Amino acid sequence: MNCNPKYLYIAPIFLFFSFIQLLPAAEPDQNKLKSETESYLPAPSENRRKMPGARFRKVVTQAVAQRAEHDSIALQEMNIYQSIFDDSSDDLMENHPADDIYHHIWTRERLNPYAIPIDSMPDSVRIFCKDFVAPVHSGIITSHFGPRRYRYHFGTDLRVKVGDSIRCSFDGKVRIIDYERRGYGHYVVIRHNNGLETVYAHLSKTLVEHNQTLKAGQVLGLGGNTGRSTGPHLHYEIRYLGNAINPVHMVDFAQNKMHEDSYLITRNTTFYYNSHLKELRSAKYYTVRRGDTLGRIAQRNGTSINRICRLNNISRKKTIRPGQRLRVR
């Protein structure tokens, strides 16, 4: 069979570039690649009518060099990303506990950045709590979870002395270390591997760093009286997706242990306070002025004296004073 001589030049080019595309993206050795390429090329003394010439040799060598440069850059980028991924101090979402549950949100700016209302919470979620360690050893509750006069108290206060060790409840990672002069004082927020977050407030000193990984029972700070506090205590919160859980429903503080090895979070029972919370958020308050009476205040705010008395737990004969704050709705 007769063959047009020009195809003798085209076929080797096609086969060589097909071979190049199949090469794996491994760390290149340019000298080795060039040596291997030379084995496929004809010696200068050979018949140039039957084999590729000098121009082909130049094109192939350039192609190999470009492939080597491309592979080198790709390998460098891969190593850079791998080093970042392996760095436990960074903020990449792959390093954070329960990241899929929290929709890849990891920030030190706010206690509850998730914006998930209780009404949008899952119907039920089981949390495993076998490795629990009590935050303090006293076990004495000084203030319970629940409503205060104008706000809601989302934690349980536990008696401590200034300087007492405060311990991490579960394995996890430090998300927030901050200070609020009129609130939590020095406080730490930990996100745990089981999906919970815990808050430790009014500390005299924090002993951990942001993004630090902690084990259950590890000391994270010292008890104190900082922030809005009337005496040394630990304000302790347990949260799931930013919404608070009454700690006594999970923890037997007198025995310093969980009630069970797991806890079933349900929208209706765990967050039983939701309706009261909505009521508090819609509440309206009035500051008493000189010359005000309950009747005048009721008329001005479109309500009744009986309702004002019921909302503020006072009688109709109660003396009100300028500057006093009354709930009117």
pLDDT tens per residue across span 109-165: 999 999 999 999 989 999 999 999 999 998 899 999 998 877 899 999 999 999 999
Residue ranges with strand state E in the chain: 124-128, 141-143, 146-147, 152-153, 156-159, 165-167, 172-180, 185-192, 197-203, 205-206, 213-214, 219-222, 233-240, 243-245, 251-252, 257-258, 262-266, 285-287, 325-327
- For residue 67, give both structure tokens: 């492939």
Residue ranges of the chain assigned to CATH 2.70.70.10: 118-272
Asked if residues 203 and 221 have their Cβ atoms less than 8 Å apart, the reply is yes
pLDDT greater than 60 at residue 19: no
Residue ranges of the chain assigned to CATH 3.10.350.10: 283-327
Check residue 10 and give its pLDDT: 54
Check residue 90 and give its pLDDT: 47
CA dist 227 and 181 (Å) reads 5
Q: How confident is the model at residue 78 (pLDDT cuts 50, 70, 90)?
A: low
Check residue 228 and give its pLDDT: 93
Q: How confident is the model at residue 27 (pLDDT cuts 50, 70, 90)?
A: low
Check residue 85 and give its pLDDT: 44
Question: Residues 262, 137, 147, 310: is their CA dihedral positive or negative?
Answer: positive
CATH top-level class of 283-327:
alpha beta
CA dist 192 and 168 (Å) reads 10
CA dist 61 and 65 (Å) reads 6
Q: What angle do CA 192, 127, 108 make, to 5 degrees?
A: 25
Q: How confident is the model at residue 92 (pLDDT cuts 50, 70, 90)?
A: very low
CA dist 241 and 218 (Å) reads 23
Q: What is the DSSP string of 271-318?
A: TTTHHHHHHHHT--EEE--TT--HHHHHHHTT--HHHHHHHHT--TT-
CA dist 18 and 169 (Å) reads 59
Eight-class DSSP state of 93: G
Type of residue found at 186: H
Q: Which residues of 123-158 are buried (b: 16+ CB within 10 A; e: fewer)?
A: eebebebebbebbbebeebbeebeeeeeeeebbbbb
Mean pLDDT of 248-271: 96
- What is the third-level CATH fold of 118-272? Glucose Permease (Domain IIA) (2.70.70)
The maximal CA–CA distance of the chain, rounded, in angstroms, is 121
The proportion of the chain whose per-residue pLDDT surpasses 70, expressed as a percent, equals 72
106 vs 329 pLDDT, higher one: 106
Q: How confident is the model at residue 183 (pLDDT cuts 50, 70, 90)?
A: very high
Mean pLDDT of 180-186: 95
Chain centroid to CA 202: 22
Check residue 17 and give its pLDDT: 55
68 vs 291 pLDDT, higher one: 291
* CA-wise closest residue to 311 among 268, 279, 269, 278: 279
